[in-house]
Amino acid sequence: MQRRRFLGLTAAGAATAALAPALTACGSSGPGGSKHLKLVAADYGDKKDNSSKKYWDSLARDYESKNKGIKIDVEVYSWTEVDKKVADMVAAGKAPDIAQIGAYADFAAAGKLYPADQLLSIPTQADFISSIAAAGEVHRVQYGLPFVASTRLLFFNKKLFAKAGVTKAPESWDELQAAAIKLKAAGVKIPYGLPLGPEEAPAETMMWMLAGGGGYTDKNGAYTIDSAENVKAFEWVRDELVGKDLVGPNDPGRTNRQDVFDAFGAGDVGMLNGHPTLIQQAKAKGLDFDMTPLPGIKGKARSTMGVADWMMAFKQNNNRDSIGPFLDFVYSRDNVLSFTGQYNLLPVTTAASGAMHDDRAHGELWPFLDQLQDASFYPADKVSWAKVSVAIKEKIGAVVRKGGDPASVLSEIQRLADATENADG
């Protein structure tokens, strides 16, 4: 599948990617003096028929028909390659005018991006949901324009719950464990799906941290990866879920998000943390499922995880005056709804969110949408986050294995985060 699993940070440090040997120029003037803008975007589709290329091509042609002299050249790549494609272009001095990818902070820190207030009209900039817009800031200046978003809920298989005699969705970790024990006793292969493999380990990690009262950073933005709350959370997961054989036969540290999603669709998983695209996948399999807020250490988690993908505009070709009006068009209510509705994602603007909430056709997304304003996001504003994310993918699985030492592993990641942050600072 090309669809991203969903919206976890994939860039491993875009500014450090290898150079591409030969790339076409961007933002040039075309025949008759027409202005060409180059847009590079990620593909949210899982097959050719629903590729994001269709959306962007249609949007570009619509904009061109209303703005003579502007030509939008569109390139769309899978999530496995789009971040590196853009990094290669930038490193080779061939930056696109606009990129819609997974990370912006390293480009912003290098002075390569326009700030939002130099691009967008005041109404467009003010329409972003504030919690998401804040995640696009570096030193309190917004460079990352959120494009689409996601929050997380606990999904559970209603048929398996009934078979196991679980009568209510769990609200606390003790209730989650009790449900998992009953599911195991009823013969469910994977009572709780725990994907701590490299595909999206930072997401599952963050959800457990938040549910335990911790997180990646404090309110001032300083890393708190090895906090007492985070250590306690993973000691609980190690001892009370993995240690009691409640996560299935496979090593969680080698289990990817899509592996668990596929198993859920096959009816082998009792419950798991999921994002909106799991709705489509589960319905396609005819699964009878429901969703509930993430359980926390003593009750419902105080915060869920929010994730955003980013739009950004590069300075290299000096096309600010052309880029800004196009982005205003991209973020118009109807265009935002068109994209998010197609891929079951959450809009990042107040106008589109309100419209989605007023439309019963999007009712399944309302529980995710309700959490968006107060969700906690990856520290994507930190240039260091790309390297920290890679370290989490490589190391976090070890904390839940037999004999695993959460305090030691989290402290190792914390030291790397601090060192990287200090070097970047």
Find tokens 């968006």 and name the residue: 372
Q: Is 130 exposed, middle or buried (0-12, 13-18, 19+ CB in 10 A)?
A: exposed
The pLDDT, as a whole number, for residue 16 is 38
CATH class label, 14-150+307-377: alpha beta
CB 254, CB 115: distance < 8 Å: no
What length is written for the chain? 425
Distance, in Å, from the CA atom of 128 to the CA atom of 274, rounded to the nearest integer, reads: 24
Average pLDDT for consecutive 10-residue bins of the chain (425 residues)? 40 38 42 78 86 96 96 93 94 97 91 97 96 89 95 97 98 98 98 93 96 95 97 98 97 94 97 93 94 95 91 97 98 97 93 95 93 89 89 95 96 96 77
CB 39 within 8 A of CB 75: yes
Angle, vertex CA 232, rays to CA 231 and CA 237, nearest 5: 100
Q: Which helix (H) or strand (E) holds 355?
A: helix 350-357
Report pTM: 0.83
Give the C-alpha separation, 249 to 143, whole Å: 44
Same fold, 14-150+307-377 and 153-303+384-424: yes
**Which pLDDT score, from 0 to 100, does residue 373 have?**
83
| CATH classification code of 153-303+384-424 | 3.40.190.10
| 405 burial type by CB count under 10 A (0-12 exposed, 13-18 middle, 19+ buried) | middle
Q: What's the confidence (pLDDT) of residue 26?
A: 46
d(CA 357, CA 363): 7
Per the DSSP assignment, residues forming a β-bridge with 25 are: none
Phi, psi of 167 (to 5 degrees): -100, -10
In one letter, which amino acid is 289?
A: F
Tokens 């209303």: give the residue: 66
**Angle 201-211/228-236 helices, nearest 10 degrees?**
110
Residue 184 DSSP one-character state: H
pLDDT at position 425 is 59
C-alpha separations of 416 from 107, 362, 395, 421 in Å: 21, 42, 12, 8
Classify strands 35-42 and 70-77 as parallel, antiparallel or unpaired. Answer: parallel
- The full set of domain ranges for the chain reads 14-150+307-377, 153-303+384-424
CA 358 to chain centre: 25
Question: What's residue 22's pLDDT?
Answer: 34
**Cα 416 from Cα 197, distance rounded (Å):** 20
Do residues 127 and 279 make contact, with C-beta atoms less than 8 angstroms apart? no
The predicted pLDDT at position 103 comes to: 85
How many contiguous H segments (helices) and E segments (strands) does the chain have?
Answer: 17, 12
Pairwise CA distance, residues 9 & 200, whole Å: 8
What is the pLDDT, as a whole number, of residue 424?
66
Amino acid at 320: R
Q: Token pair of 376, please? A: 């906690």
Per residue in 224-255, pLDDT (tens digit) is 999 999 999 999 999 999 999 999 999 999 99
